Structure 1
């Protein structure tokens, strides 16, 4: 998932493996990567949710 955007100011932290409420996985530094805002906010989020809604606090229902 590469958009070709390289603005470091637009980088967002992303969980490589979705944590699905697992706090250890959520805080694991080895499970983090940076993505540009576009990739994180669109393609990756859509892929992780698979059409499911998220709660306002960001955790899956």
Structure 2
């Protein structure tokens, strides 16, 4: 698993956040950050594709290094 941070533009509804139960969401300064473990590149791409299909702008995708 790889720990990821995905930051998107705007505030995300609880309903949309519920589509990613394995991710923690945090809203600050007109953006929302998803943080959590993704199993592989396919899971990351699926999440990004869903956000894109909903018209949500992805601002940043970062791999969080392991301790």
Q: TM-score range by the shorter chain?
A: 0.3 to 0.5
Larger Cα Rg: Structure 1 or Structure 2? Answer: 1
Indicate the structure with greater helix content.
Answer: 1
Taking structure 2 as the reference length, what is the TM-score of the superposition?
0.36
Taking structure 1 as the reference length, what is the TM-score of the superposition?
0.38
**Which has the higher relative contact order, 1 or 2, with Cα contacts under 8 A spaced 6 or more apart?**
2
